[in-house]
Chains A and B, each alone.
Chain A
Amino acid sequence: MDDCLVPRNVSQGMVGQLSARRAAGVVLEMIKEGKIAGRSVLLAGQPGTGKTAIAMGIAQALGQDTPFTSMAGSEIYSLEMGKTEALTQAIRKSIGIRIKEETEIIEGEVVEIQIDRPASGVGAKVGKLTMKTTEMETIYDLGNKMIESLMKEKVQAGDVVTIDKATGKVSKLGRSFTRARDYDATGAQLRFVQCPEGELQKRKEVVHTVTLHEVDVINSRTHGFLALFSGDTGEIKPEVREQINTKVAEWREEGKAEIVPGVLFIDEVHMLDIECFSFLNRALEDEMAPVVIMATNRGITRIRGTNYRSPHGIPIDLLDRMIIISTTPYEDKELKEILKIRCEEEDVEMSDNAMIVLTRIALETSLRYAIQLITTAGLVARKRKKTEVTIEEIKKVYSLFLDEHRSSQFLKEYQDEFMFNEEETKMEVTPS
């Protein structure tokens, strides 16, 4: 989009769907300004109209700092944890805390290390360390511990090192470029870095953003951080969460932490049942709640867990609180653009005629099917040693791979011949 939030027709990989993108743009600004925490957005429209793409677009536009969690409605149901636990984890994965770490360090290039062993063989070693940056140089007297650290790290003249003033830890950053010519052969690990600039004693500040879920997992058991990597987190006790919430609130009071509400994207939200919706209702009222973006392609459907029908399979009281953005099916020109972009992405050259045929196919069947045909047609063309895909290849793959409509036709005609066929089974053809 351009700066006035008017979507350009083709931009950043997105095509058409102008009103939905414009609405998404407004939502994005509201998220950035923090004005929409705890509200929810619903992207509704027919399958293949770019809902997930818009959500991904919002995620990218928000940048690295804002937590963005993406999930499908059916992921809630698992044997490992209950529905509410799964939802709580998803919500907490979308709330970040920003904190800052500060250390004083001495960073410079080692000019010389001089260590004197006491003549008597007993007693502490003494030493001097000369360090410099591009702008200054100084000599440090070394105590025993420091000498040991330096020897352990095998620090030599020409190394660029960082010494943490608080812990005394020495880290080698590499070797100075000016010493690159010293030796003809160096080990594989050796990096060359520039001599540091500025003052020797620097203050290093690191700002981290962690999600509440990560904090939960680390604190819920020993070696919790391993669980983060393996993904096997299990259920987390409410006491742990209580403690963490208290701690975070404390830090906020003291000005040591900031809450960064992120975005939780739930696709196929019609798969959630009534209990999940009630839970979400309450969870969204919390002051730290993230923005929830839901997507569905169902029209008026039964709410899971009840016998009531409701728009999109979502209870009306929740729908009431949501901002609804609808997507519309693509038109001719837009389909063509999308297919062109996909061809570029997949590195497939297509003749103009083939493109026209493909666009027709997309119009008549579905966009996704046409996109699948691109890769397959490309492969066929390559096999035939052609440089670009022509109508022949499209025809070939069209006959080889059926789209959903032809597939169900086929089934209807030949259902007797398939296994486990029962007479008069009404098959519910669910849209993809």
Chain B
Amino acid sequence: MENLLLSLEGGKDMKKILNEIGAAEEIAEDIMGDRGLVVELDKRRNALREASRALERDSSGKVWILNGPFFVKMKKQSAKEVLLRDQQNISNEVDTIRNGLKEKVNKLRDIENQPSLKGFDLKPLHRRELSVLGTTPRSQVYFN
């Protein structure tokens, strides 16, 4: 925030400053929202996983599944498939959100006059390919 204020010429345009701060806050809110969403989705995914596990152990042929507001009775096999499919959907959703996050963070850094994080838009290398290089101390790490 100090970067932002220092770089704008003092007292020149109060409105402009307010706008920029507003934009920064908006993106920051957005990012926080996204991160919260990822946590919720992960919770849901883990719950589904635990449910699948429980199903494995259960021996009966048919089970009850709560789907929205309805209880549905279905064969164990179909139930497993439903759970698996849902987990996959959630994983895809989470990946999409995380990819979007990278752009938003860079946009925020841009508004705050910080240099953008370089290299995160690269495609990742496979393990095999990594053996060609040695990893060195010059790394930047960020958790998504």
Contact = CB atoms under 8 A, between A and B. Distances in A.
Contacts of A139: 50
Nearest to A255: B123
Contact of B46 (A99, A138, A258): A138
A45 B45 CA distance: 67
A185 interface: no
A35 interface: no
A209 B134 contact: no
B39 A207 contact: no
A201 interface: yes
B120 interface: yes
Given A3-B7, A214-B136, A256 B124 contact: yes
Contacts of A251: 125, 129
Nearest to B56: A141
Contacts of A98: 118-119, 122
B18 interface: no
Chain A: interface size category: 35 or more
Interface of B: 7, 35, 38-39, 41-43, 45-47, 49-50, 53, 95, 98, 117-120, 122-125, 127, 129-130, 132-136, 138-144
A208 B124 contact: no
A112 interface: no
Across the A-B interface, give the 3 residue pairs with the lowest CB-CB distance, nearest first. Answer: A207-B119, A199-B42, A102-B124
Contacts of A207: 117-120, 122, 139-141
A328 interface: no
Contacts of B130: 101
Interface in A29-46: none
Contacts of B42: 136, 199-201
A138 B119 CA distance: 33
B125 A101 contact: yes
Given A98-B118, A101-B125, A255-B123, A209 B136 contact: yes
A214 B133 contact: yes
Contacts of B125: 99-101, 251, 256-257
Contacts of A199: 38-39, 41-43
Contact of A206 (B47, B127, B141): B141
Contact of A205 (B35, B49, B142): B142
A284 interface: no
B102 to A, nearest CB: 9
A137 B140 CA distance: 29
Contacts of B50: 138-139
Contact of B136 (A3, A136, A200, A208): A208
A204 to B, nearest CB: 6
Contacts of A166: 127
Interface in A124-162: 135-136, 138-139, 141
A202 interface: yes
A257 B140 contact: no
Given A206-B139, A208-B138, A200 B133 contact: no
A207 B138 CA distance: 9
Interface in A390-404: none
A204 B140 contact: no
